[in-house]
Structure formats: C-alpha cells, structure tokens
Structure 1
Amino acid sequence: MNKLTKEASSGILDIIDLAAKVTEPGPRPTPCSGYSEDAGVVRMRHPWSVYGVPVPDMEKAMDRLRRELGKKGWKIVKDGRDSSKAKSPQIVADRKNGMFSVDIRLHDEREHSGSTSLIEVTVVSDCFRRPKD
C-alpha cells in the first residue's frame, strides 16, 4: 500500500505542475479508528507541501487541480473554503476506486511576516489489514 500511496501523491504533484520545493516525508501507517492497535488495521497517510513559488502560481495550480482531478480518476467532493480562521481554499477528492482520499489546501501567508505560503496536500488510504511479518 506504501507504493500505491506514493503513486497517488505523485499524480497529484504532476497536476500541480509547479517548479517549486516539495517537502520530503513519505507515507506512514496510522491506526484506523475503531480497531485496537494489536488488530493491525491501518491506513496510509502521506502529508506533504509545495512551497517557494508566488501565490498567484499556486492559485493557478489549484485551478488546474479542479480541472484535472476528474480526468485522473478522482471525484471532487468539496471545493470551497476550510473552517480555519483564514478560510483557506480547500479541495477534497476521493479516488474513484475508493482506495484514497486527498485534502488539498492553499495557505496564503503573504500578510503574515515570516510565514511561508504553500499548498498542503494530505493523501489518505482506506483502512487495510497489514500483512503479518
């Protein structure tokens, strides 16, 4: 599932299509709610960000995501503002095969000195039972 999660994230990055910096952490397993830790039922969670380009370019990338996600096997289930104080633009989409969801937010920090504007992406898999070693 780690490989599939990386592929899903890579597809999102391809749509964003910015000559930007990208954070490096890879997918990590996290427990699924409703299961004990011993049950071995987890989901993969892959948070990453794109930064280091002007906000207008990031806004164009968000528009590209709106146009292209559906063509790449995703269904947008939310396109609006998040519930944060900043009311950041947010796109939430589910993979049509049901294996993944993605939450994408544009954080415009131009008015906050010292803060970096970025597109925050979190790809999350469906729950699955980890293979026993």
Structure 2
Amino acid sequence: MEVRDIDAVKAEVEQTSSRILEIMALKGKVDDAGAMTSPCANYDSSEKVYRARHPWSVYQVPVAEVEKSMDRLRAGLPEKGWAIVMAGVDGSVAKSPQIVAESKGKEFAVDLRLLDERKYGDDPSLIEVTVESSCYRSE
C-alpha cells in the first residue's frame, strides 16, 4: 500500500471535487467544509491506514437546473475518465437519484445525490457530493 502525506491526499481530493463541480456546471451556493481523513475499514488503527473524504453540496438552485446537472454528470464523468458503477436511486424513502463513479485508476470515488425539495419539504433542492480517496498509509 502506498505511503502518502495526509495533507497532499486531502488537497488531491479537493482538486478532484473542483473538477466535478466544473462538470456539474451548476451556479449555486457551495457548502464546503474541506477534506478530512478517516481510518479505512478492515485495518487496525495502529496500521495508520486512512482515506480522505470531501463532503460538499451545491444548493439554492431550481430543481430543474439540479436535474440537468445530474444529466451533465452522467455524460461528463465518463468523458473525463470516470467509470459510473451505479446510476439509479438510493435506498432512502425519497428514492433520491444517485450516481456513484470511480476514477480511471480507482484513486478516487464519488457519490452524488440529488435531494429534491419536492420530496423533502422546506429544504431547498441540492446535489450532495462526497469524494473519497483510495486507502493509503500515512507517513
């Protein structure tokens, strides 16, 4: 397993998020707390095996524009070297549209979900995005 600097991996995950935002071509407010690390499952904490995660969303956009953005992602991700491994609906009661994709070398994965205000009441429509790195060993 590759040994990586934590800050470098977090920066790469954030750069990957920026490229996904470009594909979305969605003008709205971006909620972005920045990338963080978490231990990888199936590893003992003493092994220092982590992944970087970057959860963010784009909101305050009409639902029709959010739906068009999901269409752009379905078409644009494969053009940019991503393999879509799931495109359908998630397991929530609202059956939110979801796309899960992996980068060509499987260095990154992305989970995109359209949360539709018509199904969630007062909350505005948004696209919820989580970009994750593959697991790596910290220095």
Q: Scaled by the length of structure 1, what TM-score is found?
A: 0.94
Aligned-residue CA RMSD (Å): 1.0
Deviation at 1:7, TM superposition (A): 1.2
Native 8 Å contact 2:94 2:119 kept in 1: no
Gap runs ≥5 in structure 1: none
User: Counting helix residues as a fraction of each chain, which structure ranks higher?
Assistant: 2
Structure 2 residue aligned with 1:55:
63
Equivalent of residue 54 in structure 2, options 17, 26, 46: 46
Inter-partner Cα distance in structure 2 for 1:113 and 1:33: 35
- Name which structure has the greater RCO, CA cutoff 8 Å, separation 6+: 2
| 4+ runs deviating over 3 angstroms | none
Structure 2 residue aligned with 1:90:
98
Q: 1:79 to 1:112 in 2, by over 3 A?
A: closer
Gap runs ≥5 in structure 2: 1-8
1:84-123 matched pairs, under 5 angstroms: 84-123=92-131
Deviations 1:61-98 (A, max 9, x none): 00000111011110101111111100000000000111
Structure 2 residue aligned with 1:130:
138
Deviation at 1:56, TM superposition (A): 0.1
Deviation at 1:114, TM superposition (A): 2.3
Q: What's the secondary structure of 1:93's corresponding residue? A: strand
Native 8 Å contact 2:10 2:53 kept in 1: no
Inter-partner Cα distance in structure 2 for 1:79 and 1:11: 19
Equivalent of residue 20 in structure 1, options 16, 21, 28: 28
Q: Scaled by the length of structure 2, what TM-score is found?
A: 0.90
Aligned pair count reads 131
Inter-partner Cα distance in structure 2 for 1:101 and 1:8: 10
